[in-house]
Structure 1
Amino acid sequence: MLAFARLLFYSLSCLSTSYAFSPGAGASGPPTADSAAVQQLVNQLDAFQSSPAVRYGTVALSVRRVRDGQELIGYNARQSLPSASTLKLITTATALAVLSPGYTYTTTLEYDGVIQDSILTGNIYIRGTGDPSLGSGRFTGYPDQSTLIKSWATAIRNAGIKRIQGTVVGDASLYADLTTPTTWPFGDLGNYYGASLSALNINENLYRVTFKPGRSVGAATTVARFEPAVPYLNFRNTVTTDAPNTGDQVNIFGAPFQTQQWLTGKVPLTSEFTVKGALPDPAYHAAYALQQQLVASNITVANPPLSVGGGLPATVDLSASRTRLAQYQSPALADLVRETNFQSINLYAEALLRTTALALRKSVPSTDSSISVLATYWKSKGVNLDGFRIRDGSGLSTTGALTADNMTGVLTAMTREQAFTAFYGTIPVVGQSGTVRSLARGTAAAGKIRAKSGSIEGVRAYAGYFTSADGEQMSFCLLVNKFTPGRNRDVTAELEKVFVRLVGLTAR
């Protein structure tokens, strides 16, 4: 009876409690959604919140009707909680709204100085503008690193250059700061998902290391190879062999611009096992790879490769006039966003955050200032961002937080943008695609919800859109914070039940 009373009689002041129902800012009266269906969902959330899986943590849910922005369910929806990778929805929505779905990045191969008698007295530059997909090979019709580097070497040869009396420079000077968010865990930085952003990214800023396990459990491993080659890095390998089928237990410790890397953990007993690490200086790697290809093509280079930008001092004159040799255009932004949301690529999200901020404000010197620009943009659209305390563009930060209400506010505002149709298509379908393809399979929710997932230690999160039983488009955000270790399956089962109830709601 008490819960039902809370359903019918509420005020905006109760929105931070576990029983919070709101028909929208400034409105009054009971929700227009079917009260019985809502109450059943709230009862389920109450049971979930008090269960052994989450009793020491927090469950939050916001459900908003996009037609008029009316919030129909707000369960702990004003509590700031870690978003994990659901934050990528806000980052990618902003990018599409500001830049347009057809936006592309341009990377330019240039030289300064003069060419005389097949000798370039000057430097070769690879000038980056933040393209996260450069050389990834992820997109059909676009080159991987090897193919791209070979095309640049050909362009240099076609310019009549047989000797470079200078340096191959990876020019990442567009970003003068150390672009790694300060709140990213140190233990993540050497792994592929913690790869730092550069204005000149290459191969998604990762390398692959293949281990040869020992002959028995506990035996030391050896490193069979690195792809691409990274001989300028120093590795200490303490990885050992575990039982067959135990999966990837490797952690790589490193930091931006540091050449020492530590390979730790275990790999399963098998013939070979490959994991991915983060390039500490992607711009340097691009310059190094090009110089190696030039040497293989019988074009000599007088000096070692180098990189500039990302907080590194400029050791070459960046103001010198340059001549373009080749230009590379990235896939369209809509395609980059789809990969960001389907595959949850942190690097892509961080790149889009910085690029969007620069488009909105010409001088944005840091990640923090980029976040401020993003927040200002959505506030100008009327979104309430009280409690919005994000620290990056991807959600990898463990200290960043937002409210479920923040998320549905942005998602609802996005439906009024010209780029919404493109954005909607970049969100995976529950039970069918992306990181939610295995979620709620065989239930009434499968195929009816578009959602981005998020997962960091102790956090499970989902946000996106669904269509109610009476045909209304709805935005939602579901956050679970500090769930009990070892209860992952219980949490997943409860979340699937929530999804089923969501698609059964009526909102008119």
Structure 2
Amino acid sequence: MYVKPHVLYAVPNKHSLTYQLNSLLTQEPALEGALAGLSIRSAASGEILYEHLGNARLKPASNLKLFTAAAALSILGEDYSFKTELLTDGKVSFGMIQGNLYVKGKGDPTLLKSDLDNMVKKLKESGIKIIRGNVIADDTWYDDVRYSKDLPWSDETTYYGAQVSALTISPNGDYDAGSVIVGISPGEDLNSKANISLKPETNYITVINETKTVSSEEKKRLVIERGHGTNTIKITGTIPINSKKVKEWIAVWDPTAYALHLFQQSLQEHGIKLLGDATKGKTPETAVLLHTHESIPLSELIIPFMKFSNNGHAETLIKEMGKVIKGEGSWEQGLEVLETELTKLGVNTNTLVLRDGSGISHVNLVPANEISKLLYTIQKKEWFPTYLTSLPIAGHSNRIKGGTLRHRMKETSAQERVKAKTGTLSTVSSLSGYVKTKSGETLIFSILLNNLAVEEKGKEIENKIAELLANL
């Protein structure tokens, strides 16, 4: 759908830029039958320089995380951290906890198996050798709704669709909470089964290995599936004998139970004997605090969150904002807090449809002009440098700096001049952020492409637009 673009403000090479953008939007085959929302502003004045369907509500995909990140920094603050606590309802004497031990999660999406190990070490160092009662996992800091409203069933087993819990474990420093890394390596001999590994190592997951190692001339064909409502992962197919290790992130079923299982494993590994059971429950208000683990601050968490577009972080932050401001860690309350904060940041929330914090819902609707407006208004906030640093940098070879843009716009005028958030859903592609032009001006842009037959074509269009802006 093409609507005549509206140019409101003079810029260097304005006529050339307008002509090129108009030509691209009208002549690009991939946009035939699609919708393109485009908003370009001056970072200095906030004036709209160019727009096309700028006020049309479109699916933002992960560009919605721009809203979530800004609200989280504004409400929680850069120094905010998540806590995980060990408490007991019994006395501690003669190396024994005379009661239950509670593992109370408070939303930390960065908690690792090694953190559990360190917490158990602290118990051991304090002289505790036996727990007479039960070990109880407490995830009641948030509600018990594990999936956002519109998460597709097909995403249930993916790391980006993992269940959200106040007590959850990540497999590594990317902090994809509630998932495990499945490693598949070729066997030692032809026709032998592949070698399967899990990170972290755990028997919470049952692996059915129906793979075969084939000759180096044959192709790699692997299928990794986790059964609905189970923690049974079935791996089928072939892997060439000279193949490199294949890694796949798979979401677990019931991340709270998974965290409890790993904690129990840590107790065993460190020689602390559990006489009771491992179960889930709520910590009594009278329980005594034994140890607290604190996560990295939000200023550091926002890096993997935005650079790698981590859905779990987004949804956790929504629930955390709801808990902190409204006293309830739910999507409903968190989204209300998000909307209120966006209003304070100058966004017209009356024109938004917000269903989650990550953008995974196809029901989310946001105009490009509102994204560019947010990116303008937050520049004066004290936390803006942290926010800007979290955005992927086009064509930057360093993974942690380039993020989801590290392989895009290389050897072009936009390389390392564009700092922007990417977004992808089926039929949707988006890119919004900042670009430093050749003349030294900073521009703000938001590109929302919907109803695409091929999302990858959308990335090419976004790259072209970013390069045009960088060349000004």
* TM-score normalised by the chain length of structure 1: 0.81
Superposition pairs of residues 364-379 of structure 1, within 5 angstroms:
364-379=328-343
1:418 aligns to 2:378 (yes or no): no
Of 83, 100, 122 in structure 2, the residue corresponding to residue 123 of structure 1 is 100
Closer, same or farther: CA 496–118 of 1 in aligned 2, 3 Å: closer
Counterpart in the other structure of 2:346: 382
Distance of 1:99 and 1:369 partners within structure 2: 15
Of 424, 431, 437 in structure 1, the residue corresponding to residue 406 of structure 2 is 437
Residues 41 and 443 of structure 2 are in contact (CA less than 8 Å); yes or no, is this contact kept in structure 1?
yes
1:324 aligns to 2:293 (yes or no): no
| 1:365 CA displacement | 4.6
Distance of 2:34 and 2:212 partners within structure 1: 35
| 1:301 CA displacement | 1.0
Distance of 2:217 and 2:322 partners within structure 1: 47
Query: What runs of 5+ residues in structure 1 fail to find an aligned partner?
Result: 1-15, 23-29, 136-144, 309-313
Closer, same or farther: CA 57–422 of 1 in aligned 2, 3 Å: same
Superposition pairs of residues 212-251 of structure 1, within 5 angstroms:
224-234=196-206, 250-251=223-224
Of 150, 159, 164 in structure 1, the residue corresponding to residue 131 of structure 2 is 164
Counterpart in the other structure of 1:46: 25
| 1:178 CA displacement | 0.9
| 1:157 CA displacement | 2.0
Distance of 2:337 and 2:285 partners within structure 1: 32
The RMSD of aligned alpha carbons is 3.0
1:79 aligns to 2:59 (yes or no): no
Of 457, 465, 470 in structure 2, the residue corresponding to residue 498 of structure 1 is 465
Counterpart in the other structure of 1:61: 38
Closer, same or farther: CA 251–374 of 1 in aligned 2, 3 Å: farther
| 1:248 CA displacement | 8.2
Distance of 1:174 and 1:131 partners within structure 2: 11
Distance of 1:47 and 1:264 partners within structure 2: 46
Closer, same or farther: CA 453–247 of 1 in aligned 2, 3 Å: farther
Residues 86 and 462 of structure 1 are in contact (CA less than 8 Å); yes or no, is this contact kept in structure 2?
yes
Counterpart in the other structure of 1:464: 433
Counterpart in the other structure of 2:10: 32
Distance of 1:320 and 1:100 partners within structure 2: 27
Query: What runs of 5+ residues in structure 2 fail to find an aligned partner?
Result: 171-176, 397-401
1:259 aligns to 2:214 (yes or no): no
Deviations 1:240-290 (A, max 9, x none): 8899797786453455xx334453675643455332211222222222222
| 1:55 CA displacement | 1.0
- 3-state SS in 1 of match to 2:340: helix
1:180 aligns to 2:180 (yes or no): no
Closer, same or farther: CA 166–345 of 1 in aligned 2, 3 Å: same
- 3-state SS in 2 of match to 1:393: coil
Deviations 1:72-131 (A, max 9, x none): 222122222222222222211211122222222222222221123333221112222212
Distance of 1:263 and 1:400 partners within structure 2: 34
Closer, same or farther: CA 131–342 of 1 in aligned 2, 3 Å: same
Deviations 1:457-504 (A, max 9, x none): 22221111123455443221112223223x73x444333221111123
Counterpart in the other structure of 1:7: none
Of 33, 53, 72 in structure 2, the residue corresponding to residue 95 of structure 1 is 72
Closer, same or farther: CA 233–441 of 1 in aligned 2, 3 Å: closer
Amino acid in structure 2 at the alignment position of 1:19: K
Q: Which moved more, 1:182-191 or 1:263-272?
A: 263-272
Residues 322 and 330 of structure 2 are in contact (CA less than 8 Å); yes or no, is this contact kept in structure 1?
no
Q: Which moved more, 1:262-271 or 1:120-129?
A: 262-271
Counterpart in the other structure of 2:174: none
Aligned length: 457
Distance of 2:238 and 2:443 partners within structure 1: 44
Residues 142 and 319 of structure 2 are in contact (CA less than 8 Å); yes or no, is this contact kept in structure 1?
no
Closer, same or farther: CA 251–375 of 1 in aligned 2, 3 Å: farther
1:345 aligns to 2:317 (yes or no): no
Counterpart in the other structure of 2:85: 108
| 1:446 CA displacement | 1.2
| 1:171 CA displacement | 1.7
Residues 357 and 364 of structure 1 are in contact (CA less than 8 Å); yes or no, is this contact kept in structure 2?
yes
- 3-state SS in 2 of match to 1:73: strand
Aligned-residue identity in percent = 26
- 3-state SS in 2 of match to 1:201: coil
* TM-score normalised by the chain length of structure 2: 0.87
Counterpart in the other structure of 1:5: none
Counterpart in the other structure of 1:199: 166
Closer, same or farther: CA 44–302 of 1 in aligned 2, 3 Å: farther
Distance of 2:238 and 2:56 partners within structure 1: 40
